[in-house]
Structure 1
Amino acid sequence: MSSSGRKVAVLGAGAWGTVFAQILVDAGNEVRLWARRAELAEQINRGENPRYVPDIKLQGISASSDLQWVCEGATMVVVSIPSNGVRALMEQIRGFLTLNATIISLVKGLEAGSLQTMTEVIATAGAIHPSRIVAISGPNLSVEIARHEPTGAAVAGQDSWRAGLVASRIHTHYFRPYVAEDIVGVEIGGVVKNIIAMAVGAAEGLGLGVNSRSFLITRGLAEMVRLGVAMGAKSETFLGLAGLGDLVATCSSSSSRNFSFGYRLGQGMSIDEALKVSAGTVEGARSCPVVRELAHRKGVSMPITSAAYRVISGKQTLEEALISLSSGPRVTDGPRARLV
C-alpha cells in the first residue's frame, strides 16, 4: 500500500487520542494529530504531552491545531474527543474528508437530547454512511498502553471488511485488535462501564472491600447486557473485550478518570471538587443522566445507574444510594432479572 493510503488523522490530543496516535505510528501509519490548542501541538511535535501523558516519549506524530491540514488526504479519521463535542466537530470537518474515508470512533458516550450513540452522531452530523464507521473499545487504560503493556480491543463495524482493514492498521506487538460485528454492543459497553466504575470507585473511597467491588461489577454487567440487548445488541458481546474486559479494567485502576472521580466522592469531595481535579473529561458523570433516560424509555431496569444519577444530581448521599441498592426487590441473578 502506498504511504498516502496509510495517512491517518487523529482528532483529539487528550490521553487516549495521543496514545492511539502513537499506536498508529508504531503500526506503520503516517499520523497527523489535531490538538485544539497550538501550544499543545507544539509540545507533541517535540515528543511530549506532559498534561495528558506525562513521562512518555512520543515519536513520529505530526501535530497541529489546523483541523483542515490534519484531515487533508487521510484515508482514516479517528475521533477522540469528549462526547458533547462530536456533533459540532463532524459538522466542521465534513467538507475536509477524503471520499470514502473510514471514520473511527474512540468516544465512549451518548449524546444528551438525541440519546444517540457516537457512531450515530458521526453518521448524521458528518453525512457519513454507517458502513464507513468503526468503533473501537476495550480494556485500554492509556497510561499502560503508553508503556507498551500488552492489551487488546474490539474493532466493530457494519462492514466487516472495513473493520478488518482498521484492525490490520492498528496491530502492534503490544496492541491486539479483534474484529467484531456488534457495533451497538461495543458502544453500549463503553458507555455503561464508566458509570459502574464511578460506583466502584465510590465504594472504594468509602473503605468498602472486594465483596462490594465484585457485587457492583457483576450487577453492573447485568445492567449493561439488559440495556444493550434492548438496543439490539447481542448478549455475548458483553463477555468480550468491549464489555467485561473494559468493565474490569475501568473498575480496577486509579488511572481511570471515572473510578478516581467516584473514589474522591467516597472520600468526601463534592461533585464540583471531584470534577475540578480530574485530568480530563469524566464521561461517566456526563453519560449517567443520558443512560438513565435511555433505560427509562426502553423499560430497562438499571439500579446502579439510577443510584449514581441520584448521587450526581444531589438527590441522595452515597450512603443512601448504597442502602437503596441493598434494599430493592428480590430478583433472580443474571441479566434477565425476574421478581421472586
Structure 2
Amino acid sequence: MDGMTHIDHTPPVRRAESPTRAEPYSRITIIGMGGWGTALATVAARAGRDVRLWGRRPALAKLIAERGENPDHLAGIALPPGITPTASLAEALEGTEAVLMVTPSHTLRDMARAMRPHLPAGVPVALCCKGIERGTGYLLSHVVEEELPGHPVGALSGPTFARETALGHPTAATVAFPFTHIDRMEPATAPAARLATTMHTEAFRPYVSDDLVGVEVGGAVKNVIAIACGMMTGAGFAENTRAALITRGMDEMKFLAEALGGRRETVTGLAGAGDLTLTCSSTTSRNMKLGTELGRGTPRADCFGGLPTVVEGEVNAVSVVDLARRLRVSMPICESVHAILHEGAPLAETFQVLWARPIEGEPRALDLYLHTGQGEPA
C-alpha cells in the first residue's frame, strides 16, 4: 500500500453541538375557537405566551372568559391563565407577533381577507387547517399568500387530537415554513424555528421542516384516506384491509407531494405517516367516523346523528382528486372515495373494483402492470 492514497470510506459523524436558542414569539393569536384552536391556545399559554383566541361568536367568547373552559368544544378541560377570548379581529390581532389559523379550509380565503386590515406588517401566519382549495387547486398556503402578501406563511400539522393535546398528553407536530437563504444561514431566526420554540412545552414537542408542500399535501390527503379506512371498517373488514389502505394511501400522498415539488421523505414524517395513522385508527376523527357510518349503510344525511357536521375529507375528496387529475397523478383510493361521496357510486362495488385493478410493482422502478383475470384491465 506504500505510495498509494488511502481513501476513507467511513461516513461522516455529525458533530455534537449545543442546541441553538431561537427567540420565541411573546404574543400570538389563534384564529378559530373550535376544539383544535382552543387546544393550541392551551399549549401556547402553558408555554408562557400571551394568547388571543378569536372566534365568530361573542357569546362563546364570553362563556370561555367566564368559565375558564370551552363548553362547546372541550367541555371539562380547564384553560390555563394567559388566554384572552374575543370576537373582535382588531383586538385579537393588535400587537400580535404570530398567527395560527384554525378555520375550516373552505372559509380560509375569506378569513385571511378579513384579517388583512388588522394584521401587523410581516407577522408570520401558520395554517392549522388542512386541504386544497376547490376550483383553483391551490394549496392553502398559496391562498393565504394571495390574500396576505408580505407575510411568511407556513403550517403546523401532525398527529394531534384536540382533547388529548389540551389534556397534556405527550404530542408531537411539525412546524413547516419555506426557508430563505437567510433562514439557512441563521436557522434560529427562521419563522419555523421561532414558532416551534414558542409552542414547545413539556408535553408538546414540535419539529421543524422546510418542506411546506410535503406537509400540506400530507394533511390534505390523509383525511380522504381516513374516510376510505372508515368505509371498509364499517363494512365489516378488519386490520389487514386498514393497513393496506394506510400504506397505499401514503404512496398516493408521496406521488402528489412530489408532483408539486415536495419531498417524499416528508410524507413519512409526523405530518404524513403520523397524521395518517392517527386519523385512520379512531372514530375520534370525523373523517374516520363518517366513513365508518357510511360503510355500515347509514345515509349521509343521518350520519353524526343527523347533525350538520363539516368533514374536511369530504370536501378535500373533490379538491384532491381534481388536482391529481390535472397533474396526471394516479390516486385510486382517493378516486374511489370521491366516486362514493360525490358521484353516487355504490360502496361495495367501488372497493371491489379498486382491489381488482391490475397488479403493479411496489417500487416505482419496477415497471410492472399485470392483468388479474378479473374483468377487463383498468
Q: TM-score range by the shorter chain?
A: over 0.9
Q: 1:335 to 1:75 in 2, by over 3 A?
A: farther
Q: CA deviation at 1:34?
A: 0.6
Counterpart-to-counterpart distance in 1, 2:125 and 2:95 = 13
Matches within 5 A, 1:46-85: 46-60=67-81, 61-85=83-107
C-alpha distance in structure 1 between counterparts of 2:224 and 2:350, whole Å: 14
Q: What is the distance in 1 between the residues matched to 2:350 and 2:61?
A: 43
The answer to whether 1:153 aligns with 2:169 is: no
> Residues 128 and 262 (structure 1 numbering): CA distance in 2 closer, same or farther, change over 3 Å?
farther
With over 3 angstroms needed to count, the CA separation of the structure-2 counterparts of 1:336 and 1:279, relative to structure 1, is farther
Q: Which aligned pairs between 1:121-200 and structure 2 lie closer than 5 A?
A: 121-129=143-151, 132-159=152-179, 160=183, 161-200=190-229
Aligned equivalents of 1:228 and 1:276: distance in 2? 36
Instruction: Find the aligned partners of 2:166 and 2:25 in 1 and give their Cα distance.
Output: 25
1:113-144, Cα deviation, whole Å (9 max, x unpaired): 11111111111012234xx1121111011121
Residue 325 of structure 1: how far off its partner (Å):
1.1
Q: Which residue matches 1:110?
A: 132
Q: Quote the Cα distance in structure 2 between the aligned partners of 1:224 and 1:230.
A: 10
Q: Which amino acid in the other structure matches residue 44 of structure 1? A: I
Cα offsets for 1:128-186 (capped at 9, x unmatched): 34xx1121111011121122111211111013511000000000111100000100000
In the alignment, residue 270 of structure 1 is paired with which amino acid? P
SS at match of 2:360: coil
Matched to 2:68, the amino acid is G
Which stretches in structure 1 are left out of the alignment for 5+ residues? Answer: none
How far apart, CA to CA, are the structure 2 residues paired with 1:242 and 1:232?
Answer: 16
Please give the root-mean-square deviation of Cα atoms over the aligned residues, in Å.
Answer: 1.9
Give the Cα–Cα distance (whole angstroms) in 2 for the partners of residues 17 and 279 of structure 1: 20
Describe the SS at the equivalent of 2:125: strand
Relative to structure 1, is the Cα distance of residues 312 and 334 closer, same or farther in structure 2, using a 3 angstrom cutoff? farther
What displacement does 1:64 show?
A: 0.9
Question: Does the C-alpha gap of structure 1 residues 26 and 65 become closer, same or farther in structure 2, counting only changes over 3 Å?
Answer: same
Equivalent residue in structure 2 for 1:90, among 112, 127, 146: 112
Distance 1:336 1:302 in 2: 18
- For 2:315, the equivalent position in structure 1 comes to 286
- Checking the alignment, whether the CA contact within 8 Å between 1:122 and 1:128 is kept in structure 2 is no
Q: Compared with structure 1, are the counterparts of its residues 335 and 288 closer, same or farther at alpha carbon in structure 2 (3 Å cutoff)?
A: farther
Question: CA separation in 1, counterparts of 2:208 and 2:308?
Answer: 31
Verify the 8 A CA contact 1:7 1:76 in the aligned structure 2. yes
What is the DSSP-based 3-state SS (H/G/I as helix, E as strand, rest coil) of the residue aligned with 1:333?
coil
Give the whole-Å Cα distance in 2 for the aligned partners of 1:295 and 1:335: 18
Cα distance in 2, alignment partners of residues 134 and 42 from structure 1:
30
Secondary structure in 2 aligned to 1:42?
helix
Q: Which has the larger radius of gyration?
A: 2
SS at match of 2:208: strand
Report deviation, 1:275: 6.0
Higher share of residues assigned helix: 1
- Out of 211, 224, 227, the residue aligned to residue 256 of structure 2 is 227
Aligned to 1:98, what secondary structure does the other structure show?
coil
The amino acid of 2:177's aligned partner reads: G
2:70 aligned with 1:41, yes or no? no
Please identify, of 155-164 and 14-23, the stretch whose mean Cα deviation from structure 2 is larger: 155-164
Question: Are 1:245 and 2:274 an aligned pair?
Answer: yes
C-alpha displacement of 1:314: 3.9
Amino acid of the structure 2 residue aligned with 1:56:
I
Name the residue aligned to 2:12.
none
Task: Indicate if the aligned counterparts of 1:188 and 1:224 stay in contact, CA closer than 8 A.
Answer: yes
Gaps of 5+ in 2: 1-23, 184-189, 371-378
- Aligned to 1:109, the other structure's residue is in SS state coil
Is residue 2:21 matched to residue 1:30?
Answer: no
Give how far 1:277 is off. Answer: 4.7
Please say if residues 189 and 243 of structure 1, whose CA atoms lie closer than 8 Å, have aligned partners that are also in contact: yes
CA distance in 2, matches of 1:127, 1:189: 25
Q: Secondary structure at the match of 1:246?
A: helix
Tell me the TM-score normalised to structure 2 length. Answer: 0.85
8 Å contact kept, 1:82–1:107 = yes
Q: Cα–Cα, structure 1 residues 334 and 34, in superposed 2: closer, same or farther, change >3 Å?
A: farther
The answer to whether structure 1 residue 303 and structure 2 residue 332 are counterparts is yes
Q: What secondary structure is seen at the aligned counterpart in 2 of 1:51?
A: coil
* Contact 2:227 2:287 (8 Å CA) reproduced: yes
Offset, 1:54? 2.4
Task: Give the secondary structure class of the aligned counterpart of 1:320.
Answer: helix
Separation of aligned partners in 2, 1:293 and 1:152: 31
Normalising by structure 1, report the TM-score: 0.95
Counterpart among 331, 351, 371 of residue 322 in structure 1: 351
Residue 301 of structure 2 corresponds to which residue in structure 1? 272
